[in-house]
Amino acid sequence: MPERRTPHEDLVDHLVRSTPLGRGEAARVVLDVLAYFDETTEEFVRRRHRELRARGLTNEGIFERVAEELPHRAVAPPTLSLRQLRRIVYG
């Protein structure tokens, strides 16, 4: 039976050639990275709010930091105001 190829096998092949990762490990890394960047803007804002809140940051600091991080996402969302960020978290 032929080996089943996934859409990202070229990336898995590259990771196997360029790192000490085995094929299974490289495939898991690719899936983890894809899942990370598959988050919606709202999911990202909520997750980062939880993470930063757990570190003891206040909302003021959290929303400013999230606003700075958003443009650096793989597919940058539109610029959101601090008020829009608050609404994502608190409705």
Which H, E and C letters describe 29-88, residue by residue? HHHHHHHHHCCCHHHHHHHHHHHHHHCCCCHHHHHHHHHHHHHHCCCCCCCCCHHHHHHH
* Choice between 2 and 55, residue whose per-residue pLDDT is larger: 55
pTM over 0.85: no
Tell me the per-residue pLDDT of 3-27, one tens digit each, with 9 for 90 and over.
Answer: 566 678 999 999 999 999 999 999 9
